């Protein structure tokens, strides 16, 4: 886990503990992951003093619940097959006022003959059609602890990909509700995804959580922090001679809290109302 991931994890944990919530840990492993990566990530969290309530949930083991939710949407007429390739979607003109990359609804209202043509195309490509949500709203509003009321566009998002894998937006909604999650804390690059997910929860008859999006960690060029930026993971920093406490201290300083050496120190001293709102610029030379 890189420093930005660890910072968000500490803040999510501290916010849950401060507000007397349980802190749930879920491994989102629907896509193929490197062997041993889950164990390393859990070890990183423990090393910084983060604990969690209950068993670790693995998204890959929740397929039955995901498919049940998709079936519910299909029965309600809220899902349809999509035969578009990624290139076709990128090249298609977007609907007015839609965000960049939003699906333009190409396959939303096809005739039976057009659907059969689409299925034939998918067979030639040796793929299954994707399954999309038939959204009946253009936007939805959620409540965020720091951003307040946030309204963003809702489009016909993917529910199941053409390779048969359930899409992230569907899986997290179903899994959050199953765990009783009522507040989602994560980095603010996902803020505009929250209304789409909350709308999906609404359609499924599930509670809509509130959100707490924290500023993103970026490199000195302002781009989202990534492993390509150098020694940015906990293990990288340990290999450079830093300790786990040094890493927590670096994260604490990004929050205006000097001298924090454990996650418990952050919990004790951090006031969520005073969260630094600017992105955290990670300068490993400084």
Domains 3-58+215-281 and 64-171 share a fold: no
pLDDT at site 95: 58
Q: How many CB atoms neighbour CB 107 within 10 A?
A: 20
- For residue 94, give every residue at least 6 positions away whose Cβ sits within 8 Å of its Cβ, in sequence order, or none: 100, 101, 102, 104
Does residue 249 or residue 32 have the better pLDDT? Answer: 249
Give residue 100's pLDDT band: very low, low, confident or very high (50, 70, 90). low
List of E strands, the chain: 26-27, 57-58, 79-82, 130-133, 139-144, 148-153, 158-160, 183-187, 210-214, 217-218, 280-281
Residue ranges per structural domain of the chain: 3-58+215-281, 64-171
- Spatial neighbors of 58 by CB under 8 A, at least 6 apart, are 26, 27, 29, 38
> Which pLDDT band holds residue 98 (cuts at 50, 70, 90)?
low
113-168 per-position pLDDT tens digit: 999 999 999 999 999 999 999 999 999 999 999 999 999 999 999 999 999 999 99
C-alpha dihedral over 65, 67, 68, 72, to 10 degrees? 140
- In angstroms, the CA 237 to CA 245 distance is 11
Average pLDDT rounded to a whole number, residues 13-41 = 92
Identify the pLDDT of residue 49. Answer: 95
- CATH, domain 64-171, list 3.90.226.10, 3.90.800.10, 2.60.120.10, 3.40.50.300: 3.90.800.10
Rounded CA gap, 29 and 34, in Å?
10
* R_g over Cα of the chain: 21
Q: How confident is the model at residue 254 (pLDDT cuts 50, 70, 90)?
A: very high
CA 242 to chain centre: 29
pLDDT digits (tens, 9 = 90+) for 155-166: 999 999 999 999
CA gap 136, 213 in Å, rounded: 26
pLDDT class for 51, splitting at 50, 70, 90?
very high
Cβ-in-10-Å burial (0-12, 13-18, 19+) of 136 comes to exposed
Residue 233: Cβ within 10 Å count: 18
pTM of the model: 0.92
As a whole number, mean pLDDT of residues 175-186 equals 96
Task: Categorise residue 46: left if φ over 0, alpha if ψ from -120 to 50, beta otherwise.
Answer: alpha
Total residues found in the chain within this entry? 286
With 70 as the cut, is the pLDDT of residue 226 above it?
Answer: yes
* Number of Cβ within a 10 Å radius of residue 62: 17
Q: What topology is assigned to 3-58+215-281 in CATH?
A: Rossmann fold (3.40.50)
């Amino acid at each position: 886990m890189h420093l930005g991931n660890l910072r968000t994890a500490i803040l999510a944990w501290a916010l849950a503990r401060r507000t007397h919530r349980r802190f749930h840990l879920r491994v989102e492993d629907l896509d193929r992951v490197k062997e041993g990566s889950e164990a390393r990530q859990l070890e990183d969290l423990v090393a910084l003093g983060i604990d969690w309530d209950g068993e670790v949930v693995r998204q890959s083991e929740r397929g039955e619940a995901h498919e049940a939710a998709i079936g519910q949407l299909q029965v309600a007429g809220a899902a349809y097959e999509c035969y578009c390739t990624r290139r076709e979607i990128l090249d298609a003109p977007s609907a007015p006022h839609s965000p960049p990359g939003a699906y333009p609804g190409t396959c939303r209202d096809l005739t039976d003959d057009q659907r059969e043509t689409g299925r034939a195309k998918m067979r030639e490509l040796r793929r299954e059609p994707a399954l999309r949500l038939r959204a009946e709203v253009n936007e939805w509003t959620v409540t965020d602890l720091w951003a307040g009321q946030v309204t963003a566009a809702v489009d016909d998002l993917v529910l199941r990909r053409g390779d048969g894998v359930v899409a992230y937006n569907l899986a997290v909604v179903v899994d959050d509700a199953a765990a009783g999650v009522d507040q989602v804390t994560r980095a603010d690059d996902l803020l505009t995804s929250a209304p789409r997910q909350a709308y999906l929860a609404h359609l499924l008859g599930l509670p809509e959580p509130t959100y707490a999006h924290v500023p993103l960690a970026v490199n000195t060029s302002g781009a989202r922090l990534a492993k390509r930026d150098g020694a940015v993971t906990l293990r990288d920093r340990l290999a450079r001679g830093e300790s786990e406490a040094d890493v927590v201290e670096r994260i604490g300083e990004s929050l205006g809290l000097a001298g924090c050496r454990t996650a418990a120190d952050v919990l004790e001293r951090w006031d969520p109302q005073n969260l630094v709102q600017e992105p955290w610029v990670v300068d490993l030379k400084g």
